[in-house]
Amino acid sequence: MGKLGYIIRCIAHMDYSALFDTVKQVHKLSGKPRAAILADIVSCGFKYGAGYKDYLLCEFYNLNSEQRATFVTRGINNSLVKLLNNSSYYHILDNKTEFYTMFGEYLHRKWLNFAKCSKSEFIDFMQEFDEIICKPDDLCCGEGVDKLKKADFNTLDDMYDELKKRQISIVEEVVKQHPDMSRINPESVNTIRVYTILSEGRANTVYACIRMGNSDRPVDNINAGGMYSPIDMETGKIAFPACDKQRNVYEKHPRSGCVIKGYQIPYWEESMQMCREAALKLPQLGYIGWDVAIAEDGPLFIEANNMPGHDAFPQMPLQAPDKIGFLPTLRQYVKGI
């Protein structure tokens, strides 16, 4: 079925309330008739694989057909995943226990397979720590991730029972991020999302952005209220002010006051090298998004994704002032997209 099958599935599972809300928002922003906007959104879905979120975030209503064709849309990103990734190996990245086991040399923190440990093993593990990060095994976008303090429980038995109640699979040492990363937002571990593509046996770091938390939760995920900004691949400096999924722009982090554009990411070259090395360990997945934290003594992995989100590419108007999307860059590494 290919592209047509993908479009049919999108139509069948579409959130029509959100679609019409998008039409309403675009009408307010552009002044164009709602019927024309709806027709254009549908047309972009068929022609460019663009969802209504792509249409709004990338301001397709301000682009001509040649410009639209340069953008990595939801459909194009899905095609890239299908082209480069063997779904039989998804479980290695989807299952945190498997990921931690395979890429243990890059974690640089202690962790426990809570789903299989005994209560006594958990109690022994907790002797070293006053707080931990707990994670479910198969959820994404920061869902279910939390930081728990030992002092908030009467006993470790109570803490163990609470973790079992939450169906937690991994408990781990809290990452102590580099002071320069903490200055951006000390309430979350602010990770670097690094995209790798395998091409002709070589691992390439093709894009990276920093993700910053902006809530009371200890996660920085864009879908959990965070924001992001592209990073200059040559220098490791943040290239633009940050944006969130509500299209807000931040020159400074609203919680810390840190100026975002031009901020230098520490251990930049080491981070890129780590991602390239790791990508070669799993050649069956040629397109991976790695979430990298920067600790005091260097980079480490938080997790990795077999379907990296295209919504973090530098394609919002602030990040693409020439109205050219990220697809030409990807085509330097991948033929047939």
Per DSSP, helices labelled H in the chain are 2-13, 16-30, 34-48, 52-57, 65-68, 74-84, 90-94, 96-102, 119-126, 156-165, 179-182, 268-281, 327-330
Whether residues 186 and 250 share a domain: the answer is yes
Q: Give the per-residue pLDDT at 12.
A: 62
Domain assignment present for 322: no
Residue 258, amino acid = C
Whether residues 275 and 225 share a domain: the answer is yes
Q: What is the mean pLDDT, run by run of 10 residues, along the chain of 337 residues?
A: 57 79 96 97 95 95 98 96 97 94 97 95 96 80 79 96 94 95 90 97 97 68 76 98 89 92 98 98 98 97 94 94 97 92
Of the residues 140, 157, 173, which one is the last residue of a structural domain? 173
> At residue 272, what are phi and psi to the nearest 5 degrees?
-65, -40
Whether residues 223 and 302 share a domain: the answer is yes
Whether residues 167 and 181 share a domain: the answer is no
Q: Give the per-residue pLDDT at 1.
A: 47
Which residues contact residue 281 at a Cβ distance below 8 angstroms, ignoring those fewer than 6 apart? 102, 103
Whether residues 49 and 65 share a domain: the answer is yes
CA distance linking residue 304 with residue 312, whole number of Å:
15
Residue numbers of the domain that contains 280: 86-103+177-306
Q: Give the per-residue pLDDT at 247.
A: 86
Whether residues 129 and 66 share a domain: the answer is no
**What is the secondary structure of 83-144 as a DSSP string?**
HHB-GGGHHHHHSHHHHHHHTGGGT-S-EEETTT--HHHHHHHHTT-SEEEEE-SS--TTTT
Whether residues 181 and 154 share a domain: the answer is no
Instruction: Give Cα separations from 157 to 35, 118, 129, 154, 312 (angstroms).
Output: 60, 11, 15, 8, 41
The domain total for the chain is: 3
Domain assignment present for 145: yes
Residue 291: name the closest of 202, 169, 199, 177 by CA: 177
Give the Cα-Cα-Cα angle 70, 313, 134 (nearest 5 degrees). Answer: 155
Whether residues 156 and 277 share a domain: the answer is no
- CATH code for the domain in which residue 147 is found: 3.30.1490.20
Whether residues 95 and 227 share a domain: the answer is yes
Whether residues 164 and 209 share a domain: the answer is no
Whether residues 199 and 97 share a domain: the answer is yes
Q: How many CA atoms lie within 13 A of 51 on its CB side?
A: 21
CA distance linking residue 166 with residue 173, whole number of Å:
18
CA distance linking residue 165 with residue 283, whole number of Å:
37
Whether residues 98 and 239 share a domain: the answer is yes
Q: Give the per-residue pLDDT at 294.
A: 98
Domain assignment present for 324: no
Q: How many CA atoms lie within 13 A of 259 on its CB side?
A: 5
